[in-house]
Structure 1
């Protein structure tokens, strides 16, 4: 299943520009080069739709934008924070 997820993510990003990779466990990361928030949202939407259509998976995504002087760790931490906020919101939306 993880291979399928990786393959689908890589089909949704811009070939030769962006990079998709497995970050750990069942988490994946995507680095978008020269992108703004609208591009990130569109690619995120494509990834969610592809995973739902091809694997029946519902996923939560966290997005962070690089700012001058940010370390890789800071960027990952910002994306993680947004990811877990999305997961929490998703659980609340499904609560009875």
Structure 2
């Protein structure tokens, strides 16, 4: 299980506006879905600026690779936003980089007998350790 939280997303919203923030969340969702196995893994918005990824039958090392792919894709992404109100002819587009937008990721490997509440609490703590260490990093929960 991966739990992602976008670092300093409120500042991103304040700098670029809520429309750009909404568009950035859509792009993050696309990055997450594009980084996982279609029909096997599940990626979804967990709430606010958090995303979760379920990676069944995946080792810790494989999950770390997925987390790195998501983190790197996010940090190297550019999106295009429509500037101003849409026009009938000649809509203008502006480039907005996901500049400075990074993600803190908690990772946990768990089995079918592990209590869901404990798993979520542990991965959440790992994610907050990543944020506390400056963000843009992956922290593994457990031993």
Same fold (TM over 0.5): yes
Query: Does 2:53 correspond to 1:30?
Result: yes
In the alignment of these two chains, the number of paired residues is 91
Structure 2 unaligned blocks of 5 or more: 1-23, 78-97, 136-143
How much has 1:69 moved relative to structure 2?
2.3
Structure 1: stretches of 5+ with no match in the other structure: 92-96
> What CA deviation, in whole Å up to 9, does each residue of 1:2-21 have, x standing for no partner?
11111110000111111000
> How many Å separate the matches in 2 of 1:67 and 1:10?
23
What residue is the counterpart of 1:61 in the other structure? 105
Deviations 1:11-56 (A, max 9, x none): 0011111100010110000000100111011000000011111133
1:33-84 per-residue CA deviation (whole Å, 9 max, x = no partner) reads 1001110110000000111111332111000111342222221111101001
Higher strand share: 2
Mapping for residues 1-96 of structure 1, pairs under 5 Å: 1-54=24-77, 55-56=98-99, 57-90=101-134
Superposed structure 1 runs of 4+ greater than 4 Å apart: none
Structure with greater helix share of residues = 1
Distance across 1 between alignment mates of 2:50 and 2:33: 14
Bigger mean CA offset, 19-28 vs 55-64 = 55-64
Distance 2:45 2:110 in 1: 20
TM-score relative to the length of structure 1: 0.87
RMSD: 1.3
